[in-house]
């Protein structure tokens, strides 16, 4: 286990990039072989739009990586964070670290983005996608990327996670983003039981239904246990899913890069079912 963490601590950025690209290639292939839905859309154009947001994300994360490194250094120097309160077996350190990083650095900020109006304005861009596929997990407004980077840094400080553990978490997180957004059939016999602990493809896709209350549910990133614990789960049959967000259903709005960047600064639109008081 120690060698495993050391590997992720020392793995070069080029290798992590290979992991990311390989994951995308795998799920793109599966989408062609066993698609969940037969969607009529320009897949390459859709991917180019979402990957443009990804490049911006990578740039922001590259610049912001110094914050995470500084947080790790602070933890190691001062033995700060929940994981450093007492000596833990390495296996327990990894499991607790991953679950706590997921809670504070992913679930909590995601929940806030649906509860705080000015944060929701930025998060809308992720929900405007009406053709959810593997590239949709990469579609985030630059403003939202900054929120998530800051909360990841806070999560590292709060947990006291080592750099190897943080890199392991980031790798698993990227895999789950691809898996849960990919337009693939996932066996129900596996999806249901696994969804009590992990975020499965069907569990997450409910979150992308175009209207409330499903939109405000199933916030999990890797672990679904937080949604079950905090009673934020919802369900809908896959055949009833309609992707998008009811406030931005026009193609000219959800498929135009410039408009997507400007949505947080446009007049707020109230979704059906009411979200926030004007």
Domain ranges of the chain: 45-264
* Tens digits of residue pLDDT in 242-267: 999 999 999 999 999 999 999 999 99
Report the range of poorest mean pLDDT among 12-16, 36-40, 128-132, 263-267.
12-16
Q: What is the pLDDT of residue 6?
A: 82
* Tens digits of residue pLDDT in 183-197: 999 998 999 999 999
On whether the CB atoms of residues 220 and 227 are closer than 8 A, the answer is yes
Count of beta carbons in the 10 Å neighbourhood of residue 22? 11
Distances (CA, A) of 154 to 71, 177, 179: 8, 21, 26
On whether the CB atoms of residues 214 and 181 are closer than 8 A, the answer is no
Q: How far is residue 247 CA from its own chain's centroid?
A: 22
Burial class (CB in 10 A: 0-12, 13-18, 19+), 176: buried
* Tens digits of residue pLDDT in 157-183: 999 999 999 999 999 999 999 999 999
* Tens digits of residue pLDDT in 28-47: 999 999 999 999 999 999 99
Q: What is the pLDDT of residue 18?
A: 81
Whole-number Å distance between alpha carbons of 191 and 176: 14
CA torsion angle 30 60 125 260 (round to 10): -110
* H/E segment holding residue 120: helix 117-127
Q: Which two tokens stand for residue 39?
A: 């969607």
DSSP of 74-104, one letter per residue?
HHHHHT-SGGGSS---HHHHHHHHHHHHHII
Report the range of poorest mean pLDDT among 10-19, 65-74, 112-121.
10-19
Note the residue count of the chain: 278
At residue 22 the predicted structure's pLDDT band, cuts being 50, 70 and 90, is confident
* Tens digits of residue pLDDT in 199-234: 999 999 999 999 999 999 999 999 999 999 999 999
Count of beta carbons in the 10 Å neighbourhood of residue 66? 10
At residue 62 the predicted structure's pLDDT band, cuts being 50, 70 and 90, is confident
């Amino acid at each position: 286990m120690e060698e495993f963490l050391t590997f992720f601590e020392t793995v070069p950025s080029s290798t992590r990039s290979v992991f990311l690209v390989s994951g995308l290639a795998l799920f793109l292939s599966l989408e062609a072989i066993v698609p969940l839905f037969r969607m009529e859309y320009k897949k390459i154009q859709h991917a180019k739009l979402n990957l443009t947001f990804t490049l911006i994300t990578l740039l922001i994360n590259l610049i912001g990586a110094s914050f995470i490194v500084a947080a790790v250094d602070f933890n190691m120097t001062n033995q700060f964070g929940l994981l450093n309160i007492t000596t833990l077996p390495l296996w327990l350190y990894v499991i607790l670290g991953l679950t706590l990083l997921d809670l504070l650095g992913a679930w909590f900020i995601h929940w806030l983005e649906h509860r705080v109006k000015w944060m929701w304005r930025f998060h809308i861009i992720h929900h405007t996608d009406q053709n959810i596929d593997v590239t949709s997990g990469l579609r985030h407004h630059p403003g939202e990327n900054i929120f998530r980077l800051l909360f990841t840094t806070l999560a590292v400080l709060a947990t006291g996670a080592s750099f190897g553990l943080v890199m392991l978490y980031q790798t698993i997180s990227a895999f789950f983003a691809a898996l849960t957004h990919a337009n693939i059939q996932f066996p129900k016999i596996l999806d249901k039981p696994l969804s009590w602990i992990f975020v499965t493809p069907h569990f997450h896709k409910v979150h992308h239904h175009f209207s409330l209350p499903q939109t405000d549910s199933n916030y999990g990133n890797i672990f679904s246990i937080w949604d079950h614990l905090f009673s934020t789960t919802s369900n809908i049959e896959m055949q009833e899913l309609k992707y998008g967000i009811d406030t931005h259903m026009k193609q000219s709005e959800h498929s135009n890069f410039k408009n997507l960047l400007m949505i947080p600064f446009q007049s707020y639109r109230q979704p059906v079912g009411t979200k926030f008081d004007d």
